Amino acid sequence: MLRFERYSTMKNKPLLIALAAISCLLTNASCQAAGAQPETPKTRKDTPKIVNIINFIRLCEPRDQKITQEVLYNTVVKQVEIMKQYGLGGTFLLQYDALLDARYQTLLKSLPAESFEIGAWWEIPQPLVENAGMKWRGRYPWDWHADVGFSTGYTPQEREKLVDVYMKDFKQIFGAYPKSVGSWFIDEHTLNYMVEKYGIVASCNCKDQVGTDGYTLWGGYWNQAYYPSKLNSYMPAQTEKNQIPVPIFRMLGSDPVRQYDTGIGGNWQGVITLEPVYGSAGADAAWVNWYFREFVEGEAMEFAYVQAGQENSFTWGAMAKGYEIQMPLIARLRDEKKLQVETLAQTGQWFKSRYKTTPATSVTVNQDIPGSNRKTVWFNSPFYRVNLIWEDGSLRLRDLHLFDENLPSDYLTKPVTSNECSFFTLPVVDGYLWSTAEKLAGLRLKARVDGKEILLQGGDPVITSPSSGLLHITWPLTSCPGTLVVDLFEESLIVMNMEGAESLNWFLDLTAKDNASLPFTKIAIERIDCRFKGLNYSLVAHQGFFTKEDGVVFRITPKNDRIVLAGITESAKP
C-alpha cells in the first residue's frame, strides 16, 4: 500500500496517475482500467530538431579598448553576410544602446523579415537607465555586474520603467514591439510584465553554469525549453495556472558529456559549448560534427533544440573559424531535412501552440567524440531533471534535481545587492557541487559478488521514448548476466528493474566529497527528507529501501529486483 503522509491527493494527482501507469507497465494489467491509454511509439520524423541562430548586439565593450564600436558593428555585418551566404535566417537581439544606433537600425531593417527577426537583448546599459529617469550606478556605459547590468539589480517598479522605455523606442524604430527577449537571466517580474503588457512569445537564458562571469544557474531544465514559474523565472512550473506563459529556451549548446564536470574543485566552470569562439568546442570541426550528429540522431522525446550564434563582443576575428565550420553544416542538415532553422519567435510560437505546460524532453549522446567511451542522457520534465552517464562501462546517476513552482527567486521582490546572481532548484544528487576532482559524487550501480562490492559493468545502453512523457533505457550487463531497465516518467518517478539476473545482490550507493553541503535532514527506510532554501521535499522509495552505510551518504537497495523512486515537494515556507 502506497503511503502519502503529509501530502494531499490533489497535490500529487500526477504522481498517482504515474503510479497507475507503472502498475500497468510492470504487471501487464489493463491500462484502460487505470485510465492510462497506450500510445503508438513515435518515429523520428515526429521529433523536430530545431536550430535558432541567435546573435545579440552590444554597442560598446569596455573590457577591451581594442574592441571599438566599429569592430563590434563590422562583426554583425560579417554575421549577416555568412548567414545570407548559406541561406540561413535567424534572430538578432539588440541591447538598448545598440538599438539607438543608426548603423544597426539601417543594417537590420534591410534584412528580409520572412527569415530574420529583430528582438531585444536584456542587459541594462546607461542610456536605458537614464532615459527611464534613474541614476546610472555602473563603472562603464555598459557594466556586466548583476546589480547594474541586469534587471535583477532594480526594484520591480524600476524594472517596469526600463521595459516601458525600451519597448516604446523599439516600436518607434521598427514599427512593432519585439516578440523575443533574451538575456543571460531575466527576473520573473520583468518577464511576466513583458508577456502581459507587450505580448512577447519567446525568451532565452544562459546554459547551466556555476560561477562563470559571476552568474550561477544550476539544477534547472537542462537545454530545450520550459515554462517558468511566476515566482521564479529559472524554475519550471508544474501547473498552467502558476506559469509565466512564455517559453524560455536554454542557450549556447552545452556539451552534454563534458560541460557539467568542467571546473570541478574550483570556483567556476569553464565553457564547452557550440559558441564559435571556443577552439576545443564550437570552433573545432570534429567536435561540431559530433555535436550535430548526436543532436540529429539522439532520442529527444518531444523535440531537440540548440542555439547557435554569438554576441558581437567576441569580434569576428575570434568567431570566424567557428562560423565557417557551423553555418555550412547547419545548411546541409537543413537541406537534408534532418533539422529546421527558425527564428526564436517562430520556435516560441510553435512551442506555445503545441504545449500548454512544459513537456518532458531528453538530450542523448549515444557515441562520444573520438578517444572517449562515455555516453549520457539528460531527462527533463516539469517536475525534475536527471542525468545518467556511462563511464568506462559503469553507470553513474550524476545529477537529480526536483522542481517546485512555489520556491521563490531571491530577486522576486527586491534587487540583488552584490555583483553576482545565483539561481538554484532542489538538489537530490549533485555530481558537480558535491564533487572534487578526485572524488566524483553520484549514485553508482554496484553489486556484492563473492563478498566484495564491485561496480557493475555493461555494454551500450539503448535509449528510446515509447510514449509521451516516458524515457526507456535498457543497459545489458557484461560483468554478469542481466539487463538493467530504467524508466523515467514525467511525473517525478524513476523505476529501475533488473531483468535476467537471478540472485544478483545489486544496489545504488551515493557518494559525495567530505565537506559537501548536503540537503538531507533525515534518512529513513522509506524516504529521505530534504530541505533547501527554506523548502522541504523528499525522495520516497515506493519499492526498495534506503539505508546508511559506511563510506557512503546512503544506499538504495531493491525489493524483488526493482526500485521505484518518487520525488515529492511541499510548498515553500513563508
pLDDT on residue 503: 85
Residue 95 C-alpha cell reads as 541591447
Helix (H) or strand (E) run with residue 567 in it = strand 562-569
CATH topology for the 360-569 domain: Beta-galactosidase; Chain A, domain 5 (2.70.98)
Q: What is the spatial distance between Cα 334 and Cα 363, in angstroms, rounded to a whole number?
A: 20
pLDDT on residue 574: 37
* pLDDT tens profile 497-553: 999 988 899 999 999 999 999 999 999 999 999 999 999 999 999 999 999 999 999
pLDDT on residue 49: 98
* 45-354 against 360-569: fold identical: no
Residue 514 C-alpha cell reads as 567530505
Q: What is the spatial distance between Cα 387 and Cα 247, in angstroms, rounded to a whole number?
A: 22
DSSP 383-444: SEEEEEEEETTEEEEEEEEE--TTS--TTSSS---SS-EEEE-EEEEETTTT--SSS--EEE
Neighbouring-strand partners of residue 426: 402
* pLDDT tens profile 333-342: 999 999 999 9
pTM score, whole prediction = 0.92
* pLDDT tens profile 155-184: 999 999 999 999 999 999 999 999 999 999
Is 219 a residue whose pLDDT tops 50? yes
Return the domain boundaries, the chain. 45-354, 360-569
Q: For every residue of 290-319, which 3-state class applies, written as one string?
A: HHHHHHHHCCCECCEEEEECCCHHHCHHHH
* pLDDT tens profile 106-144: 999 999 999 999 999 999 999 999 999 999 999 999 999
Helix (H) or strand (E) run with residue 173 in it = helix 156-174
CATH topology for the 45-354 domain: TIM Barrel (3.20.20)
**Strand pairing report for 442-449 and 426-430:** unpaired
Is 399 a residue whose pLDDT tops 80? yes
- Residue 102 has a CB neighbour count (10 Å cut-off) of 8
* pLDDT tens profile 10-66: 344 444 444 444 444 444 333 333 333 334 444 445 799 999 999 999 999 999 999
Q: Determine the average pLDDT of the residues in 472-483.
A: 96
* pLDDT tens profile 283-297: 999 999 999 999 999
Do the Cβ atoms of 491 and 16 come closer than 8 Å? Answer: no
At 268, the pLDDT band (50, 70, 90 cuts) reads: confident
Is 273 a residue whose pLDDT tops 60? yes
Is 4 a residue whose pLDDT tops 80? no
DSSP 8-state secondary structure symbol assigned to residue 525: S
- Residue 448 has a CB neighbour count (10 Å cut-off) of 12
Q: What is the spatial distance between Cα 459 and Cα 440, in angstroms, rounded to a whole number?
A: 22
